[in-house]
Amino acid sequence: MLDPASTAVPIMERPEIAFVLAIIAGLMNGYTYHVSKIFSTVQSGNIILLGETIATKNWPHFYAIMFTVLAFGVGSMLTAIVEKIYRNKNNHSWTFVIIAIEALVLIILASGYFNNILSISTICIIISFVAGLQGNAFHKVKGMLYGNVAVTLVVQLAFSNLMQAIQGDKGTWRKAVIFFSVLLGFGLGGYAGTLATIRFGEAALLLPAILLILLLIYLLFAKEKGDDSIDPAS
């Protein structure tokens, strides 16, 4: 059970929150990569795929990936706008807005209501927009930069801190554990997202949506109790 008073860091920078966010990102990737061979969150992978599609002259896939990358960027931009609007408002948290938008969009997509209108590629592009929101909003854990939607940096930090710990720097053990837990969450999300997509199709997107709603409920209770700040540091 999460304890809002467990640390002095903002709630959205806590290691357990980073773990949950990584699961959510993995779930989204599990869906998009299985149905269209496009990453919703790992844009470095998509950039490589852009080069591959140009080399193979696979233009339909090229355009799908290109718009996926752009959608991620638009999501990141919207987070910056929301953060600026709410930054100077007392007792208002922009975290709630971002998480609510994420959950709402995923629920709409999971409902299948627009299946006759939206192609699979378009659905993946919209999910990438959601990932962009999350990636730009929450990228610190206990004050340290990390990624929950793209984990190349996390792999580097996990093993770097592990080696420092092995060499005698005891203060880095905890950092290594934090980063490895993010990797675990990302991988578990990808595994569960793929299995759910195989069995349930678009309805698999309810999984990350449910986690986001549960996170939102937890944050609402934490806010009511007045425990610590919620928004991560800029």
The pLDDT assigned to 186 comes to 94
Confidence at 6, pLDDT banded by 50, 70, 90: very low
In angstroms and rounded to an integer, the radius of gyration of the C-alpha atoms of the chain is: 18
The pLDDT assigned to 4 comes to 42
The DSSP call for residue 233 is P
* Structural domains counted in the chain: 1
Q: Report the distance separating Cα 133 and Cα 129, nearest Å.
A: 6
Ranking 21-30, 40-49, 171-180 by mean pLDDT, the lowest is 40-49
pTM of the model: 0.90
Q: Is residue 182 situated within a structural domain?
A: yes
- The SS3 of residue 4 is coil
Q: What is the CATH number of the domain that holds 175?
A: 1.20.1250
**Cβ atoms of residues 220 and 227 within 8 Å:** no
Q: Is residue 208 situated within a structural domain?
A: yes
Q: Is residue 3 situated within a structural domain?
A: no
**Cβ atoms of residues 37 and 61 within 8 Å:** yes
What torsion do the CA atoms of 97, 6, 209, 21 make, to the nearest 10 degrees? 90
Q: Is residue 2 situated within a structural domain?
A: no
The pLDDT assigned to 2 comes to 45
Mean of pLDDT over the chain: 90
Q: Is residue 189 situated within a structural domain?
A: yes
Give residue 202's domain range: 13-223
More confident residue, 9 or 213: 213
Q: Is residue 82 situated within a structural domain?
A: yes
Q: How many CB atoms lie within 10 A of CB 155?
A: 15
Q: Report the distance separating Cα 61 and Cα 57, nearest Å.
A: 9
Q: Is residue 4 situated within a structural domain?
A: no
Q: Is residue 231 situated within a structural domain?
A: no
